A = this chain, B = another copy of it.
Amino acid sequence: MSATLIDGKAIAAKMREEVAARAAHLADEGWQPRLVSLSVGDTSAARLYVRNQQKSAESAGVAFEARDYPYDTSLEQLSGIIQGLNADPRVNGIIIQRPLPDHIPVKTLQKLVHPLKDVEGMHPASIGNIVYNDLALGPCTAVAAVEILKTLPLDIEGLNVTVIGHSEIVGKPIAFLLMGLGATVTVCHHMTRSVAMHSRAADAVFVAVGKPGLVTGDMLKPGCVVIDIGINRVEGKTVGDVEFDSCAEVAGWITPVPGGVGPVTVATLMANAVQATEMQMNHYRDAYARTDM
């Protein structure tokens, strides 16, 4: 292996330190950040993820409340719950755990979350703000993947980047974030005629498809960066979307799975929680100042 392994846990720990300092400052002002996580139905799939969020929150000084609702909770009931959380000044961020039961359309719920409490960065207005380069609360996984690239000794301006996967919450936002930083970005997906043609031309490859072994070493330019966002279970093991061994031979830097993008994503959620709380505090103070005039 020639590639340098990117240590997601170390990057996450550093982010969490900064978050903890901001959270402590907010707590001093009477605004300790507080997240509420909503799980519906069979929560076993997301349980590990929720527990990771809870642990990360605790170490960052962010209060975290995990709520479980039964499978047959209706869309109307969930809407009411979210509207209640939107209105509650003691709640600063709302997390909707996936998967949801089939009768609950996830996008409908995400749009109900107030943009100032949208710590997952999923509301259309949050996504639109990324396009406008006016990043407040970005989608956590996409932001995390880009944060990892920023830690490397590369100039992102002019960098040729290929993003494989064009999902609304990962691939596309990664593309806009990178465009905002000056990279030249190509987005490939299942309809692309030759992914290898685009990946071989890239200084950095982001992969977010959900197919183990999708990217192999012969699809890479020597010395490039590989950021693997996939999370797949194969024979009881968690693996990403890239064939790790062959890619690590060719790449200059590569993220492991697990231990790469995952921990940084959770740390980004906490950074969003602090950011959301700061925005809400300022919003309330502006409102208060105005009644004072």
Interface residues of A (CB under 8 A from B): 107, 123-129, 131-134, 157-158, 160, 166, 168, 172-173, 175-176, 179, 182-189, 191-193, 197-198, 201
CB-nearest residue of chain B to A127: B128
A252 to B187, CA, bound (A): 24
Which 3 A-B pairs rank lowest in CB-CB distance, beginning with the nearest?
A128-B128, A124-B128, A127-B128
Known contacts A124-B125, A189-B179; A168/B198 CB under 8 A: no
Question: Which of the residues B131, B183, B188, B197 comes within 8 Å of A127, measured between beta carbons?
Answer: B131
Question: Which of the residues B182, B186, B193, B197 comes within 8 Å of A158, measured between beta carbons?
Answer: B193
For the residues of A in contact with B, the DSSP-based class is: mixed
16 A-B Cβ contacts within 8 A?
Answer: A124-B124, A124-B125, A124-B128, A127-B132, A131-B131, A132-B168, A133-B168, A172-B176, A175-B175, A175-B187, A183-B191, A184-B191, A184-B192, A185-B186, A186-B186, A186-B187
Known contacts A125-B125, A184-B186; A131/B191 CB under 8 A: no
For A125, the chain B residues whose CB sits under 8 A away are 124-125, 128
Known contacts A124-B131, A131-B127, A132-B124; A193/B184 CB under 8 A: yes
CB-nearest residue of chain B to A203: B193
For A158, the chain B residues whose CB sits under 8 A away are 191-193
A192 to chain B, nearest CB (A): 4
Q: What is the total number of copies of this protein in its complex?
A: 2
A21 to B217, CA, bound (A): 56
A35 to B20, CA, bound (A): 50
A281 to B128, CA, bound (A): 25
Question: Which of the residues B182, B187, B191, B201 comes within 8 Å of A191, measured between beta carbons?
Answer: B182
A128 to B115, CA, bound (A): 12
Q: Are B168 and A172 in contact (CB under 8 A)?
A: no
A123 to B201, CA, bound (A): 35
A197 to B101, CA, bound (A): 47
A154 to B134, CA, bound (A): 35
Question: Which of the residues B124, B126, B160 comes within 8 Å of A193, measured between beta carbons?
Answer: B160
A158 to chain B, nearest CB (A): 5
Besides A124-B131, A184-B188, 14 other A-B contacts (C-beta < 8 A)? A127-B131, A128-B131, A131-B131, A131-B168, A131-B176, A157-B191, A160-B193, A166-B179, A172-B179, A179-B189, A182-B191, A185-B186, A186-B186, A186-B198
A92 to B172, CA, bound (A): 31
For A134, the chain B residues whose CB sits under 8 A away are 107, 124
A107 to B128, CA, bound (A): 12
Q: Are A123 and B128 in contact (CB under 8 A)?
A: yes
A193 to B156, CA, bound (A): 12
For A166, the chain B residues whose CB sits under 8 A away are 179
For A126, the chain B residues whose CB sits under 8 A away are 128
